[in-house]
Every structure is written in structure tokens, then in C-alpha cells.
Amino acid sequence: MKKYIAIILAMMMYPNLYSQIKKMEPPFWWSNMNEKNLQILFYGDNIASFNVESKILPVVDIQRTENPNYLFVTVNTKDLASSNYNLDFVKNGKVEFTQSYELKSRREDSSERRGFNSSDVIYLIMPDRFANGNPEIDTTEDTIEKVNRSNPGGRHGGDIQGIIDHLDYIKDLGATAIWSTPLLEDNEPVYSYHTYAQSDLYRIDPRYGSNDDYRRLASEMHKKELKLIKDYVTNHWGSKHWMINDLPSKDWVHQWPEGFRRSNYRMTTQFDQNAAKVDAEGCMDGWFDTTMPDMNQSNDLLLRYITQNAIWWIEYADLDGLRVDTYSYNDKAAIAQWTKSIMKEYPNFNIVGEVWMHNQAQISYWQKDSKIGAIDNFNSYLPSVMDFTLHDAIGTMFNEDEMHWDKGMVKAYENFANDFLYPDVHNILVFAGNHDTNRINQIFQSDINKYKMVMTLVLTTRGIPQLYYGDEIGILGDKDKNGDGDIRRDFPGGWSEDEQNAFKSSKETNGRTKDQEAYFEFTKKVLNWRKQNEVIHTGKLLQYIPFDNVYVYFRYNDSKRVMVVINNNPNDQKLNMDRFSEGLANYKNGTDIITNNNLDLTEELFIPAKTSMIIELK
């Protein structure tokens, strides 16, 4: 009953929106934005038959498409205060109806917001699998797929409230930012928990909560000095998106004669000077999947639509960053313009793009001001990229006991030897696993010593570390054998019916097991130490060629030095410290922050098999 009363009240307040205009996007905007021209999409039956005028809100452009149900109206907001402004819809010289449009007041210093950076540690969450804070919205009337926790590929009921309920757990762990996989509406009949096939870009999926809930998440996080990073998808929408079902124009999506053509996924064709055009088109214009129509960002109306949508969410929810899915599959000129526009609006913001490639030169092509990109006269304006080559090395080298020319810890050394290719090595996302890769503890067969070596590397090298939820308690998952659902298991304790609650200490009833506690306490200790050490955030990296599968490097600045030792050898090792005199810089003592042991660095350093040390020099 409340739902119908709300609809009736809304119809009374905005009668025109219900009679003629079915959609108006963005639904509102803000005054004092850097970009003064705002494109408003109006959708309704034969809406293109109208002209739009306003006495106060200047209409500078009206564009129609081949579909008469769309009207794209550009207004100029320069020098306009926050208020409601009327737009008159005119036909044959007569005002047929009037639509109100609101410009809101911005938060103070909104344009100066600072994004995530190398002082942060990002905690990646798949919300459907993290925690169920509001079981009443597990299934909703206006979404197709219903909750079924027994189905590994189905919806399990995790939501925004579940994240809010466990912010203290994340803060206690030592993470400082949360990247949640997409939360916008995905109304596919199956696999919708993945949420990368979005059906409404202005609406949080009701099974996760509401737009207000998302804004409340950011607010609650900021109270705890945590940052919120939104997962944004530019390359594709979902097949059930309302606009896909009534396209503004045929070129809104990439069309193929056979109806569907899958991308060849060869992103190298974006810059390969020898690439055949048919292959380049096959990558960029091919669909990522059958339920994910490939969007044509070279369409100016679409490009402005997704640019404004991203800015709308940053402003509305008070976001601290974006992670952009499949960044390098987009039309590269268009995605560069999209990125540039956002960074112009928020100069201190940060955006990290998923560039899943296996060569540092190819990845670095996509980072802002890349010398590699300059060869092609290309600048993406993208501040941050993801270090997939380090991820590749991590997945193999810690299972290689013997070091050879191309095996063992030398893989880490060679990865960082190519840092000269990156314009900004501190603004690179480093990670061992995420929601698309096998669980690292599956790869290492629950060997906590290997986990500690991995995390030592990820948390002390240059860049911005990212952890995947549950790795800190040893969660397993093998997508090769059991599918994606296996690497996206429910966090134990996120549901009221769970027998065990890994959000709680092992000292509490039904809390973490002793093994889970060992993972958690190690991670917590290193993360909280890292939080206080600027030398790890922005210090220089000095590395030594690994011998006997032992990798040594230093992080240093003018006031502090940290020595990191990773012994991936199955045998104990002794290090002659004379070799490391450059890194030691006359320091003679240190403390291993993992064990709290004080060390004499004038003698041979003993390091047990399959062990790492993080030594603060004193």
C-alpha cells in the first residue's frame, strides 16, 4: 500500500513526468560544476516532436535521433544558483507541458576531493557474497532473478547494509579503502549477482539496497576514514538495459550482420602498428558476452551520457575513486576523453583501469603521459593501471622452489626492472588475486608461509595494494574446476544462519578458527604497520638480483629505510650483509616487524626457509 501511495504522491508532484516523460537522465544536477554544459536525456513516446525552451535555464542545443522517443537537450548552467528550473515542451508554438529540473548545491570543496593513492590498501568486495544485512530485499518484485544461496552462480543475498555492518572489521584489518564490484541494477535472469551487465545506470540494484543506501555507505566509511571506490563499466551494458530494448539509434551499440559477434579479446590491436583493421574491430567492437552489448563510445551522445553518469555518481555518493572494468576494450580516443573530462572536474581524483595484459610496455601504454603511448600520439589521461604482470609472477613463482634464469623470485626482480616504462610507478595497483582469478590460497594449497611471502611483497613494494575479501582468512576457490562461483564464496558469518562467523576473533564463540586467525593476524599486523609508514607509500625502491631464491629489496627516503627479505627457498639461508651496504646505508641494526625480533645487521643474516622479513632499519 505504501508503494502505491508514494507513486500517487509522485504523480501529483510531477504530473508531466508520468504523462509524457518516462525517463529524465541525469535526474538532477549541481550548480557550480566545472563543465557548464549539461546534456539531459528525455525519453517518452514521440518526445522528439517537441521543442524545449526555458526563460532562465539556457537551452543551447537540441538533438534528435532516428528513434522519436528520445530528445537530448543541452542546457548551460553557468552562473546559475541551486534551484528548480522549468523547461517548456513546445509544439506548434504552444507550451504543451512544463518539466522542472533541479540544480542542487555541491558539497564544499567537492571538486578538490582527493582520491585513493599509495598510502591506501584497497579491500575488494563482491557484495552479494560478503554479508547479508537486510534479508527483506533478497528478492524483489521488480527484478527477475531470485535469491538461491545453494546455487554457486546464483544470488546469495549480500547487500550494502552487510558492508556497512562490517566496516569495523575492515578498518581493524588495516585496509583504508573499499572497492566493491558493481552495485547498479543488473536485471539479467541468471548470473545477475556479477552485476557487470547493468540494466539501469542511475539505480542501485534493489537487491543490494537503494541509492540512498549507497550514499550512506560512503558517509559511514568517511566517518571511519575509509575511502569508497566505485566499479564503473564503460565498455558494455546489460541486454536488459531499458535503453537497449529501445535504442536511441542503431549506432548506440556495435552491430554485426550476424547479430552477435564475440570480441577476440586481442587488446594489442589497439596499438599494434601491424594489426589488420578487421582484427582491431573484432576486439573493440565485438561483444564481451551475449548478455553484454558492446557500447559505441564514438557516438557523442553516448559518450556524454556515460561521462555525466560517472560524474553524477561521484558527486551524489561522494566517491573517492573509480575502478573501470575492461578499460582497454573501449574506443581508445573516446575513453581517453571520458577519463580526461572526469579528471578535469576532479583534478585530485584517482581512476584505475583494468588493463589485463601480460607485458609491461603494453600495460604502461594506458597510463597517463606514457612514453609508449606518445609513440602513437595517444594519452589515455588514466592515472592508474593494474600490475597484471606482477600478478602473473605471484601465481607461479612462490610454487617454484628452485630459482633458474626465468623461474623463482627472479620473476619479481624482472617485473620491477621494467618500472622505467611507467610514468608513475606509485600509482599502480598491485595484487595477488581478485574476483576473476583463482584464490591465492588455492594456488598455494593453504600454505600460510607462502601466503605471508606473497603479502609481504604486495604490501611493501611500490604501488597501491589491493586485497580480495576472504584471502585474509585463507578462503579457497578454484574457478578452473568449479567455475566462478567457487572463487566468490560467501564470507563465513555474513549470514545469520551461518554456523561460524569469521568476522569475529577466534577467542569469541563460533569465531575464526586457529588457522583463519593466523592468516588474519599476520595481515592485520602488516597492514596497520604499513598505514603509518610513508616510506612504503612513496619511498624509492632499491632491489637486488635474487640468489638461491632469496629476494632482497629496500624502500627508502631521506628519513627512513626498510629492508625486505623473502626466502622462497625450501632451505634456511644465510645472507652476507656486505652485499647490501648500499641499501643499509650504514645502518647496523633493525627490527623485523613480523616477529618483533631485533637483528644485528653487521653479521650474517639468518632467514628460515619459506619466510619473509620486513626489517625497519635503526
- Give 405-455 pLDDT, tens digit per residue: 999 999 999 999 999 999 999 999 999 999 999 999 999 999 999 999 999
- Give 205-219 pLDDT, tens digit per residue: 999 999 999 999 999
Whether residue 103 contacts residue 286, with contact meaning beta carbons closer than 8 Å, is answered with no
Task: Identify the active-site residue in 159, 354, 472, 490.
Answer: 354
Burial of 7 (0-12, 13-18, 19+ CB in 10 A): exposed
**Distance between CA atoms of 354 and 31, rounded to whole angstroms?**
32
> Nearest to residue 428, comparing CAs of 462, 458, 391, 455?
462
**b/e burial code for range 256-269 (CB count within 10 A of at least 16 → b):** eeeeebebeeebbb
- Give 176-207 pLDDT, tens digit per residue: 999 999 999 999 999 999 999 999 999 999 99
Q: Is 33 helix (H, G, I), strand (E, B) or coil?
A: coil
Beta bridge partners of residue 100, listed in sequence order? 86
- Residue 155: CB partners within 8 Å, gap ≥ 6? 128, 138, 145, 146, 147, 148, 192, 193, 207
Whether residue 130 contacts residue 56, with contact meaning beta carbons closer than 8 Å, is answered with no
Return the number of other C-beta atoms located less than 10 Å from residue 603's C-beta.
12
- Give 476-501 pLDDT, tens digit per residue: 999 999 999 999 999 999 999 999 99
Average pLDDT over residues 469-479: 98
Beta strands in 312-458 (DSSP E): 321-325, 351-353, 384-386, 428-431
Give the confidence band of 259 by pLDDT, cuts at 50, 70, 90.
confident
Q: Is 325 a catalytic residue?
A: yes
Beta bridge partners of residue 123, listed in sequence order? 178, 467
Whether residue 74 contacts residue 58, with contact meaning beta carbons closer than 8 Å, is answered with no
174: DSSP letter: T
pLDDT for the residue 19: 65
pLDDT for the residue 12: 46
Whether residue 162 contacts residue 494, with contact meaning beta carbons closer than 8 Å, is answered with yes
> Nearest to residue 34, comparing CAs of 301, 307, 232?
307
> Nearest to residue 101, comparing CAs of 42, 32, 49?
42
**Distance between CA atoms of 346 and 108, rounded to whole angstroms?**
13
pLDDT for the residue 17: 46
Pairing of strands 177-180, 573-575: unpaired
Which run of H or E residues covers position 601?
none
Whether residue 224 contacts residue 173, with contact meaning beta carbons closer than 8 Å, is answered with no
Whether residue 61 contacts residue 73, with contact meaning beta carbons closer than 8 Å, is answered with yes
Q: How far from 509 is each of 169, 460, 475, 500, 505, CA to CA, in Å?
A: 17, 34, 20, 9, 8
Q: Is 79 a catalytic residue?
A: no
> In this model, does residue 5 exceed pLDDT 60?
no
Domains and CATH numbers, the chain: 2-105 (2.60.40.10), 539-617 (2.60.40.1180)
Whether residue 73 contacts residue 59, with contact meaning beta carbons closer than 8 Å, is answered with yes
Task: Identify the active-site residue in 120, 138, 325, 471.
Answer: 325
- Give 379-388 pLDDT, tens digit per residue: 999 999 999 9
Quickly tell me which residue has 553557468 as its cell: 78
Whether residue 158 contacts residue 148, with contact meaning beta carbons closer than 8 Å, is answered with no
Give the confidence band of 20 by pLDDT, cuts at 50, 70, 90.
confident
**Is 0.85 surpassed by the pTM of this model?**
yes
Whether residue 237 contacts residue 244, with contact meaning beta carbons closer than 8 Å, is answered with yes
> Nearest to residue 262, comparing CAs of 304, 293, 234, 302?
293
- Give 55-111 pLDDT, tens digit per residue: 999 999 999 999 999 999 999 999 999 999 999 999 999 999 999 999 999 999 999
> In this model, does residue 264 exceed pLDDT 60?
yes
